[in-house]
Amino acid sequence: MFKVRNSRQKSKRWIFRIFLIFFATCVIIQLVNVHVNISRKQKELNALREKLDVQVQQNQLLQKQLDFGVTDEYIAKVAREKLNLVLPSERIFIDVTKE
């Protein structure tokens, strides 16, 4: 009778150990997955912060332009730089030596 109890206790211990190992393995796998997700989200957050900084700078520039108002000089500058326009009295010289 003592041997039967002893073998039952041993089998219960083995079952408990197997369960404990299985549980610990699941916890470790979940921790690794959480760590990977945190790293991924951190990179995404950094990229979004950089985009936000760029957008804030653009907004500040536009706000400055609104504060100063639209002047003839500003219109001429935009026409020259972005639209490649010139005044009727100006001459355009093209350097053909550059290739």
How does the average pLDDT of the chain come out, rounded? 87
What is the average pLDDT across 75-85?
Answer: 83
Domain presence at residue 93: no
What is the average pLDDT across 71-86?
Answer: 82
Return all residues near 65 (Cβ < 8 A) that are at least 6 apart: 74
Domain presence at residue 25: yes
Structure tokens at 34: 């959480």
* CA–CA separation, 75 and 55 (whole Å): 23
Q: Give the residue, 83 or 36, on which the prediction is more confident.
A: 36
Share of the chain above pLDDT 90, in %: 46
Q: What is the pLDDT of residue 43?
A: 97
Digit-coded pLDDT (tens) for 24-72 = 999 999 999 999 999 999 999 999 999 999 999 999 988 887 887 777 8
Domain presence at residue 92: no
Q: What is the pLDDT of residue 32?
A: 97
Domain with 17 in it: 2-81
Domain presence at residue 95: no
Domain presence at residue 96: no
* CA–CA separation, 41 and 12 (whole Å): 43
Domain presence at residue 86: no
Domain total of the chain: 1
